[in-house]
Structure 1
Amino acid sequence: MLRRTRTSPAVRKTAQLATYFAAGSALALTSASALAEHSPALDRFSLSAGAYYVDPTFRVNANTQYGNFQSGDIDRDRTTLPRIRGEILLFDSQGLSFDYFTYKKNNSGAIDRSALIGGSTSSLSANADANLQVDMASVAYKWWIGQGSDVFGIGLGGGYYRAHLDVNAAATLNGTSGTFNESYTEKTWAPLVELGWKHAFSKDFRLYAEASGVKKNWGRVTGHIYSAAFGAEWYPLANLGIGADYGITRININRSGGGTINDANLDIRLKGPSAYVKVRF
């Protein structure tokens, strides 16, 4: 049974980020001078708002007070994630890119099955309520190579990810009853590398492909995020258009507790199409 909630704070956060990015972009465009002609595959400024319709799969491994818990792959129903993206060309071949999306899901249910806990198979019956939220944002400075219909880009920047998990359960394990409550939030910044390609059939219709990677291997929280997408954009009006792509995202977050019950790993795979309304100037 799913809970009914009010407007998600993540959606409000998305709108705030869009406002900040648009304001900063307008300031940069105003201050730029002597702008030469650029590739028809690029816009001086573009902002995209839409949704990422994903098919999510999760895997959780964690040390608990009862032993090590391994969930195996958990497939969830397709869901729609709010997403916002932006690009600004500061000069003729350099600029900034921004991307943000969030996944939030509340789940309640009952299980009665065997589970691998502490290295052995146990009989587990439980009623559980789980709340998972993952936020992902990235900002990169990009260099575009090429002046014709095809341009290739490389970007360097930072990626931010935040994962929050609440689990409340009443369970019977091998005939012994008890409760389990776990809540943790992990967040960190990490270096980001982006690659991109754009082809302009005209200034109003383009294809693009992109890939990015975030990796952090120091500190208590480590992990990586890899993503790739292929899509198209079309502007039936001079400054208003639509875009769509198909993408894959892999998020892996590790929390080190020195071998204690604080050790945990969260592996998330998202795949599916995205659709946007786009504005450009």
Structure 2
Amino acid sequence: MRTRPHRFGKVTTGLALASLAVFGAAAHAQDSSNKKSQSRALDNISLWVGGYYTNNDTTIGAKTGFLNTTGDVNLEDDLDFKKHKTVPRARLDFLIGEHQGFTFDYYEVDRSHSKSLSEQINFLGQPISADAYVKGNLKFTFGSAAYKWWFGTGDDVFGLGIGAAYYKVRYGINGTVTAMGQTETDGASGSTNAWAPNLQIGWRHAFNDQWRMYFNASGVKKNGGTLNGHIWDAALGVEWFPWQNVGFGAEYAYTKIRLHQDKRNYDLDLDMKLNGPAAYVRFRF
């Protein structure tokens, strides 16, 4: 069954808005005595909007004659994809009471590139020119929603979250080779998606009302189904709030994605590593 590319974005947005509508009033209705007992490392509502400047290392394995039947293609080394790309990312956290709440995370990696080759080979003493054109594209979408428990009321709190993640892969590698007046075209492409359980841990520390430090980590692991594998994500960062409700966040993040499309015939393997700095505009209420 086909899934529209923005389906999860709509689902996540709907869940977030519905949850905020139900619980937002309660969060704002807390009196001053309750606020004093809540850790200043946490916010009632917290929105992150920014970009993840990634260093990419991506390998796709697919069944195709053009790629020597079951070959692997590294997008950066073989197809000259740029090693660095800014990936948009957004997060939303909000509390229900003082120690529980929801957290949402969404990002999308969308990359495409083409490469032309021209080589001359010697066949039976005769020079023969061969021209090739290769185009690759990869779009990986990830979103998660989790219920989170926070432990601690001082300047340090620790969190544990359980929820679900949605991920989708759309890929294509196509090539055309022309030699001795003959042209041959081959390639592989496809699109697949899956849901999987998501486990999260976190740590927050408040130095004061303006400066905070944090660590986030999450893991997705799925066995069986049409798209199985694991996704790990971790980030260490700092926050600075020069104003009461608006500030900035900076972190260094690492993401490891390894997925396999499980069919009777070997069809797709995706091995992608992302790492690099990320920056956010932060809103808290």
* TM-score, with length taken from structure 2: 0.82
1:105 aligned residue: 111
Contact 2:192–2:226 under 8 Å retained in 1? no
Q: What one-letter code is carried by the residue in structure 2 that aligns with 1:243? A: G
Alpha-carbon displacement from aligned partner over 1:202-260 (angstroms, at most 9, x marks no partner): 132100011110011021211110011100111111111111100000111101221x2
**Pair 1:165 & 2:171 matched:** yes
Alpha-carbon displacement from aligned partner over 1:103-124 (angstroms, at most 9, x marks no partner): 11120102469xxxxxxxxxx9
Contact 2:26–2:96 under 8 Å retained in 1? no
Q: 1:156 to 1:127 in 2, by over 3 A?
A: same
1:266 aligned residue: 270
Query: 1-side partners of 2:159 and 2:91: how far apart?
Result: 16
Count of matched residue pairs: 260
1:68 aligned residue: 70
Q: Map of 1:45-84 to 2, 5 A cutoff?
A: 45-65=45-65, 67-72=69-74, 74=76, 76-77=81-82, 78-84=84-90
1:119 aligned residue: none
- Among candidates 86, 107, 131, match of residue 92 of structure 2: 86
2:23 aligned residue: 28
- Among candidates 148, 152, 175, match of residue 146 of structure 1: 152
Contact 2:240–2:249 under 8 Å retained in 1? yes
**Pair 1:204 & 2:223 matched:** no
Query: 2-side partners of 1:111 and 1:152: how far apart?
Result: 53
Structure 2 alignment gaps of length 5 or more: 120-129
The CA deviation at 1:91 is: 1.8
The CA deviation at 1:80 is: 0.7
The CA deviation at 1:169 is: 1.3
Query: 2-side partners of 1:112 and 1:58: how far apart?
Result: 24
1:187 aligned residue: 193
Contact 1:14–1:84 under 8 Å retained in 2? no
Structure 1 alignment gaps of length 5 or more: 1-8, 114-123
Secondary structure of 2:207's partner?
A: strand
Q: 1:125 to 1:228 in 2, by over 3 A?
A: farther
Q: 1:73 to 1:182 in 2, by over 3 A?
A: closer
The CA deviation at 1:139 is: 0.9
- The two structures, once aligned, show a CA RMSD in angstroms of 2.8
Contact 2:204–2:212 under 8 Å retained in 1? yes
- Among candidates 213, 222, 226, match of residue 232 of structure 2: 226
Q: What one-letter code is carried by the residue in structure 1 that aligns with 2:212? A: R
Q: What one-letter code is carried by the residue in structure 1 that aligns with 2:186? A: F
Secondary structure of 2:43's partner?
A: coil
2:123 aligned residue: none
Q: 1:90 to 1:128 in 2, by over 3 A?
A: same
> Once the two structures are aligned, what percentage of the paired residues are identical?
37
Query: 1-side partners of 2:274 and 2:242: how far apart?
Result: 30
Query: 2-side partners of 1:191 and 1:23: how far apart?
Result: 21
Secondary structure of 1:168's partner?
A: strand
- Among candidates 246, 250, 275, match of residue 279 of structure 2: 275
Contact 1:18–1:84 under 8 Å retained in 2? no
Q: 1:274 to 1:171 in 2, by over 3 A?
A: same
